[in-house]
Amino acid sequence: MKDILHFSHANGFPGGSYRKMLSSLQADYNVQVIDRLAHNPVYPVTDNWAHLCDELIHFFEREYQQPVIAAGHSLGGLLSLMVAQRRPDLVKAIIMLDSPALTRLQANGLRLAKWLGMVDRITPGGRSDGRRAVWADRNEAFEYFRGKTLMKRFDPDCLRDYVEAGTEPCEEGVRLRFDPATELQIYRTIPHNIRAVQPLSVPGLAIGGSESKVYRRVNGALMHSRLGMTVRWLPGSHMFPLEYPEKTAGLIRQWLETYL
C-alpha cells in the first residue's frame, strides 16, 4: 500500500494550482489535497490559526486510516507543522515548503505588529486588500496574473493551473474562488506562536527558496537545530514550488526515499 502524501496549499492558491508538482509524485505516493482551506465556517480564521489547525486535523481523522506524509506550502506547511506537534499520531513525516518557524525576535516582532495594527506592513496582506477579483474570462485572468510580480516567474503550466483552479464562472465572467476577505484575514492572523522548541517526533524536511523574503537562512538553521529537520534550498522566491515544480518534486522524492 502506498504512503499517503497529503498536500496543503498556500494562502490564496487552491490545491489544483500544484498539479504539475504533485503529478510528478503520484506514481510513488497516494497524493491527496484539500481544495480550499479556511472556507468552512465551522473552522473560522482566528488569531494564530487554531481553528484552521483543527480543520486539517479533522480532515486527517475523517479521510485517512493511516498516518500521512503531511506536506504543504507556506500556510499549508505551517498548518502541517501545527498538526504534527499537536497530533503526531496522524503524521508519518512532514514537508514544509517556504514555511518558517519563527525565531524569538521574529515572533515578538510579529506579535507587536498585530497589536499595533501594522501587520499589513510585514505580510502580503497589504497588497491583497482590495485587489481585483473579476475578469471577462480565464484568458484575461491569465494575462493579468502573468504580469504580477508574485507570479511573473511561474512555470506557465502552473500559472494556467492556478487560473483554472482559482477562478469560477460568474455573471461578469470569472471570479476568484479563494475569497479575498478570507485571504486577507489569514495574513492578518499569521501565528506568532509557532516556535521551534523541541525536535519533531517524525522525520521532517524544510525546503526554502534561495531568494525568498519569507523563509530566511536563520529560519532554516533554527528548524534544523531545534526541530531536527533536514533543510534544503532550491532556486526561486517564496513561490518556488510553482516556479520550479519538477525540481521541487524531485527533491521531495529524493528525501522521502532516504528517510522513509
The whole-number pLDDT of residue 121 equals: 87
**Residue 172, all three cell numbers:** 461578469
- Choosing among 3.10.180.10, 3.40.50.970, 3.40.50.150, 3.40.50.1820, the CATH entry for 4-259 is 3.40.50.1820
Helix ranges (DSSP H) in 97-179 = 104-115, 125-128, 138-146, 156-166
**Angle, vertex CA 14, rays to CA 5 and CA 238, nearest 5:** 80
Neighbours of 41 (CB within 10 A): 5
Amino acid at 121: R
Rounded CA-CA distance 189/71 in Å is 21
Task: Answer yes or no: is pLDDT of 195 > 80.
Answer: no
Q: Where are the domains of the chain?
A: 4-259
Rounded CA-CA distance 166/164 in Å is 6
pLDDT band at 220 (very low <50, low <70, confident <90, very high): very high
pLDDT band at 130 (very low <50, low <70, confident <90, very high): low
Lowest mean pLDDT among 37-46, 114-123, 148-157, 233-242: 114-123
Task: Answer yes or no: is pLDDT of 219 > 80.
Answer: yes
Radius of gyration of the chain (CA): 17
Mean pLDDT score of the chain, rounded to an integer? 95
C-alpha to C-alpha distances, 45 to 50, 54, 94, 118, 143, nearest whole angstrom? 8, 11, 23, 18, 31
Amino acid at 233: W
**Residue 255, all three cell numbers:** 528525501
Task: Answer yes or no: is pLDDT of 131 > 80.
Answer: no
Task: Answer yes or no: is pLDDT of 129 > 60.
Answer: no
Could you tell me how many residues make up the chain? Answer: 260
Task: Answer yes or no: is pLDDT of 180 > 70.
Answer: yes
Neighbours of 93 (CB within 10 A): 22
